[in-house]
Amino acid sequence: MFTRGLWNFPAHGMRAHFGELDRMRRHLDQIFGQLEQPAAVARGAGVFPLVNLTETQDNYIIRGEIPGVPADKLDIQTMGRNITISGERQIDIDPNAKYHRRERESGRFSRAIALPGDIDRDKVSATLKNGVLELTIPKAQAAKPRKIDIK
Amino acid sequence: MTHHDEGKELQVGKKQEVSGQAEQTRSGPVFIPAVDIFETRNEINLVADMPGVTPENLNIDLRENTLTISGEIPPYEEKNEEDLLIEYEVGQYFRQFTIPELIDQDKIDARLEDGCLRLVLPKAEAAKPRKIEIKAQ
């Protein structure tokens, strides 16, 4: 099928090729995904900020590195099971200075994270410390594991 | 939604990791902090992104012409946490620079603000540009 595609549509040959690789990668991901912890959330979408999501019995915890963004430039919203972190990172450029390195980037960002279970959105708490944001999101009662007593 | 507004969108920058650092003694990944370095007439400024670093575990060292900044981020996870999605790691920060100018070491100012290190290195009098007057005969 790939060969035919290549001959008939030379321009699409490469795409067909990558398509095949993509499928293979997805397939492998599936296999490995089954071995690992259940992948509750889509893999890194490549959107700022990168986040780490963990859970305890009672909470989900989201952490993200957002250096140089003060709390008042940060907006956190919840909707259903989704948490959105958005804001803007501003970097003042001194027009009179001579720049030797400029590696730090500025701009707006918005990141949505879908949590695997229902949450108690009224009790979400957030701390910003040394450029690290930490959100503690209590699980909804229904989403918590419950121990069943055996009589 | 903010991303309909005008203005640049911030791209994600993967943390850069040091590949082979000979003098590394502790285990764990070593990251290269992203920096801005700019120079004005009287000083050299350095801003480095080092999220998670605290004044206690940040080290700044200027020896001869080499400026070293390093920091260590201890693991933050509690024992009872289970990973669901891990996109970044923490470890050490390490980066060295060669500073060609003479620096007035006593007046170096370092500040840590929202995970950014701001370093002001004032030039020593001898290193400041001096305008040479041309005398007309």
List pLDDT tens digits, range B33-75. Answer: 999 999 998 899 999 999 999 999 999 998 888 899 999 998 8
| CA–CA gap between residue A71 and residue A151 (Å, rounded) | 51
The answer to whether ipTM exceeds 0.85 is no
| CA–CA gap between residue A43 and residue A68 (Å, rounded) | 25
Q: What angle do CA A128, A132, A136 make, to 5 degrees?
A: 65
Residue A146 touches chain B, beta carbons under 8 Å: no
CA trace torsion A12, A16, A21, A23 (10° rounding): 130
**Are A56 and B35 a contacting pair at CB < 8 A?**
no
pLDDT over threshold 90, residue A138: yes
Instruction: Tell me which residue has tokens 């996870």.
Output: B77
Per-residue confidence band for B79, with pLDDT thresholds at 50, 70 and 90: confident
**Are A70 and B80 a contacting pair at CB < 8 A?**
no
CA distance B135 to chain A (A): 28
**Which of B6, B10, B101 is most worth mutating to test chain A (most A CB atoms within 10 A of its CB)?**
B10
| CA–CA gap between residue A115 and residue A138 (Å, rounded) | 11
Residues of A in Cβ contact (< 8 Å) with B39: 97-100
| Count of C-beta atoms within a 10 Å radius of residue B125 | 10
SS3 of B93-106: EEEEEECCCCECHH
pLDDT at A30: 62
| CA–CA gap between residue B14 and residue B17 (Å, rounded) | 9
Cα B8 to Cα A17, A87, A111, B48: the distances in Å are: 34, 12, 15, 21
Answer positive or negative: Cα dihedral of B54, B56, B59, B60.
positive
Residues of B in Cβ contact (< 8 Å) with A41: 84-85
Per-residue confidence band for B93, with pLDDT thresholds at 50, 70 and 90: very high
pLDDT over threshold 70, residue A1: no
B41 or B14, higher pLDDT:
B41
| CA–CA gap between residue A74 and residue A109 (Å, rounded) | 10
**Are A98 and B11 a contacting pair at CB < 8 A?**
no
pLDDT at A33: 57
Cα A141 to Cα A29, A103, A146, B96: the distances in Å are: 32, 45, 9, 50
**Are B2 and A99 a contacting pair at CB < 8 A?**
no
What are A60-79's pLDDT values in tens digits? 999 999 999 999 999 999 99
pLDDT over threshold 70, residue A90: yes
**Are B35 and A103 a contacting pair at CB < 8 A?**
yes
B128 or B49, higher pLDDT:
B49
User: Which of B36, B49, B80 lies nearest to residue A101, judging by beta carbons?
Assistant: B36
What are A10-36's pLDDT values in tens digits? 444 444 455 666 667 766 766 665 554
What global pTM score does this model have?
0.72
pLDDT over threshold 90, residue B110: yes
Query: Do A49 and A65 contact (CB within 8 A), yes or no?
Result: yes
